[in-house]
A and B are shown apart, each in its own frame.
Chain A
């Protein structure tokens, strides 16, 4: 388990030489490369780098879409005791320049002309960058810079070099130690400059191996490698686990063809952040809407049935008999064909991670019979911290720790963990390392708790968690996410720090609520008008009460239920600086701007008049006047349990 990756690839080249290691769709056909070729290609890249005077510890920047050549470049670099530094392929020049310079990369191996152009622009600010190697020669004919080289040329140099140095490669591979750095992954923090997390061969191989064993991965798995190589997740799934277990990875033809390639490959092991699951769901729903009436009704009926069954199953409740009886029919008519269509027919396990996933999305895929599970991971942990075990999947937890990972909650409610996967530190940044590492325990920055069954639940970022006046823990984002899982709620802002109770400012979703209103013949003229309809208030109250009821299941947060709420008369808008362009709520600004509304939520009146300034897209401003209703929600009672 504590080998270096080049030696593991060599083992694969010996034990399963003709098994497929990497496939890539190129010129419309899936081209396969075996483990023997993987090793040989990596060897030639290493020898080519050696011919350029590569020294142990040198950093090699790797930039491009998921391509076999770039994975070979990773193993080639590691074979010489070098450290690959993968960068986001869509990174802007400023970011790339910062990382290249900070990592002191001597070499860059990149996909194509686009990346070469970027590097040529930033080269002046990265004096240590000596050679740029590109894989795709298209458009490169007119480039004559001496420090540019094609990957083919590099490998040819490697071939020549090996004649004079026949044992060089093997010698270098043998020199590698499990505790050598294997990769530096730069994380794009929301604040400050990116930090380079250094992970050793031991960090990655032990963690990836433990997770593989925990999940019983086999060497006949197939995965689609479509997430950026710079992201630790891709490095773990497409590189570390693939090599450790010996399964094949598949590189899509282009970023635009991913969903299509997914169907052709039919992976058995699949990872996607919630955003991608959402896209898949939307694609299905759009097609359902386009179908003929009878078909649409049939599909909707069975999809609802599957979700009800799955919800009951996850909650440990028995499902009604007739539903269970109808499920096989649904499998035949809807679930099976749909799984096939999505390319998920063969999926044995799939993960979602990164942020909270909406329950209806999660239930939709699980209801179809796809084993989607939540996992909690971080770059600094070599990804895996907790995974939901098969048969022990919950909607609102991220599962239990994998072997050799210890999870502890600090007195401040922060999730701490300790594992063989905890990184070596941030590259050239001991201060930042000291801030997060304490005696081998890593401070995640996430607030969470472990429930009675040992499941970890993540609440919020620590810095956003606060307390009510009574001292009750209050996690605004946790509540807001729960609210936003409702199709009728577009945005929500919860208030409660140092207040007697929790309140919420809610934005309705115009499409969903508008549709709902039309179906009930509720006439409205504008967003503002619709938002203040008593019927809409009643609709949203149900959603708030649903959230309150779900809070009962949380031992820590059950007292932070929403007592009063109001529906905002205008949409929160980045143009008005209320939310960021990436749709993150700007709490401070909202607290200030809507102070009268917030005070009303803590007052006695049942309505409040407001006048708000809005900025139109062309920069003009106007005022919206409204009478905003203050609504009360029933708090769920603890005793019901």
Chain B
């Protein structure tokens, strides 16, 4: 492992880049020359990006830069009109969202998208649906394999509840929770699918400093404990610099920079995009 003096901890400082989980070898996800068009609007223009196994990749950029669109393309909500997407070395350009999820890609949403009337526990259980094999009669009777399957899935979900420290709200309706906790529950639901790649769309939006610190810690812990590869969109530069191994910067649908946080921070194109230099 890396330098023993550095540690991920309360302060959020990370060991050297890729220190926690990045494994060499072919990238987990490759986005090649992908363009997305909404009518006349070119939302993404020939964007290429790779997500390496075990890393935490931050995707940043000004409003309207195409960050969420990129996430939506990866998770199959939109399809590119050109370019291709490779997951685990195989082409996956035109899959529908459920198929993408089945491959091991889970995500959270910018605006919390939980089942508001359902308990936290049930919300998390829905994250397990892809792992369940149903049989109408057995399920109705809750007998034999159906029962065993539910118990096994519940045990997995309980590990996540413990991991995210949300035991006290297990039985609460998700809609009644404060916003910060809803975000955490949403992360839990994504984790319940045991993803290889986790896509987080602004996991810390609207949170206070303390909630952000908690969420940062959870993201790092997910990365190190489960070895999950994480790609996240975030606006808080402090958080991005602290938790990510690599940063990709989008602006007006194009990728303008890609590299280690300290490198990207000094990049002239990035500074221009953020500080409002004229676009040529």
Contact = CB atoms under 8 A, between A and B. Distances in A.
Contact of A26 (B8, B9, B162, B224): B162
A28 B160 CA distance: 11
A29 B167 CA distance: 11
B168 A257 contact: yes
A27 interface: yes
A28 B167 contact: yes
B4 interface: yes
Contacts of B158: 27-29
A117 B224 contact: no
A256 B163 CA distance: 15
Interface string A517-550: 0000000000000000000000000000000000
B15 A139 contact: no
A216 interface: no
Contact of A138 (B2, B154, B168, B225): B225
Contacts of A141: 20, 224-225
A144 B1 contact: yes
Given A27-B162, A254-B167, A256-B168, A142 B8 contact: yes
Contact of A142 (B1, B165, B217): B1
B10 A117 contact: yes
A257 B8 contact: no
B224 A142 contact: yes
Contact of A143 (B7, B155, B163, B168): B7
Contacts of B161: 27-28
B148 interface: no
A324 interface: no
A253 interface: yes
B20 A142 contact: yes
A145 interface: yes
Nearest to B154: A28
A392 to B, nearest CB: 39
Interface in A249-292: 253-254, 256-257, 260
Interface string B203-218: 0000000000000010
A139 B221 contact: yes
Nearest to A26: B162
Interface in B150-173: 154-155, 158-159, 161-163, 165, 167-168, 170
A473 to B, nearest CB: 48
Interface string B1-22: 1101011111000010001100
A254 B161 CA distance: 12
A27 B9 contact: no
B241 to A, nearest CB: 18
Interface in B203-262: 217, 221, 224-225
B62 to A, nearest CB: 34
Interface of A is mostly: loop
B7 A142 contact: yes
Contacts of B159: 27
Contacts of B155: 27
A518 B224 CA distance: 59
A254 B168 CA distance: 8
Given A27-B158, A253-B167, A260-B168, A139 B224 contact: yes
Nearest to B168: A256
A139 B214 CA distance: 13
Interface in A134-184: 138-139, 141-145
A202 to B, nearest CB: 40
B217 to A, nearest CB: 8
B7 to A, nearest CB: 5
B167 A257 contact: yes
A27 to B, nearest CB: 4
Given A27-B158, A28-B170, A254-B168, A138 B163 contact: yes
Nearest to B157: A28
Contacts, number: 50
Interface in B19-44: 19-20
A138 B220 CA distance: 11
Contacts of A253: 167-168
Contact of A144 (B4, B10, B165): B4
Contacts of B15: 142
Contacts of B4: 144-145
Interface string A229-261: 000000000000000000000000110110010
Nearest to B159: A27
A216 to B, nearest CB: 35
A406 B155 CA distance: 54
A147 to B, nearest CB: 12
Contacts of B7: 142-143
A117 B10 CA distance: 8
Nearest to A254: B167
A141 B168 CA distance: 26
A145 B1 CA distance: 13
A256 B168 CA distance: 6
Contacts of A145: 4
A341 B158 CA distance: 25
Nearest to B14: A142
Interface string A420-458: 000000000000000000000000000000000000000
Contacts of B224: 139, 141-142
Contacts of A138: 163, 221, 225
Nearest to B20: A142
A415 B161 CA distance: 50
B225 A254 contact: no
* Best-surrounded residue of A28, A138, A257 (most CB of chain B within 10 A): A28
Contacts of B9: 113, 117
B11 to A, nearest CB: 10
A139 B221 CA distance: 6
B202 to A, nearest CB: 24
Contacts of A28: 154, 158, 161, 167, 170
Nearest to A114: B10
Nearest to B15: A142
Contacts of B170: 28
A610 B167 CA distance: 53
Nearest to A252: B167
Contacts of B217: 139
A254 B163 contact: no
Contacts of A117: 9-10
B209 to A, nearest CB: 18
Interface in A85-124: 113, 117
A435 B161 CA distance: 51
A496 to B, nearest CB: 46
A138 B160 CA distance: 12
Nearest to B121: A28
Nearest to B7: A142
A204 B154 CA distance: 43
A25 B170 CA distance: 13
A145 B9 CA distance: 14
Contacts of B1: 142, 144
Nearest to A146: B4
Interface in B167-219: 167-168, 170, 217
A260 B172 CA distance: 12
23 contacts: A25-B167, A27-B155, A27-B159, A27-B162, A28-B158, A28-B167, A29-B158, A113-B9, A117-B9, A138-B163, A139-B217, A139-B221, A139-B224, A139-B225, A141-B224, A141-B225, A142-B1, A142-B6, A142-B15, A142-B224, A143-B7, A144-B4, A257-B167
Given A141-B224, A253-B168, 18 more contacts: A25-B167, A26-B162, A27-B158, A27-B159, A28-B154, A28-B161, A28-B167, A28-B170, A138-B163, A138-B221, A138-B225, A139-B8, A141-B225, A142-B2, A143-B7, A144-B1, A253-B167, A256-B167
Interface of A: 25-29, 113, 117, 138-139, 141-145, 253-254, 256-257, 260
Interface of B: 1-2, 4, 6-10, 15, 19-20, 154-155, 158-159, 161-163, 165, 167-168, 170, 217, 221, 224-225
List the 6 closest pairs (A to B, CB-CB), nearest first: A256-B168, A27-B158, A28-B158, A144-B4, A257-B168, A253-B167
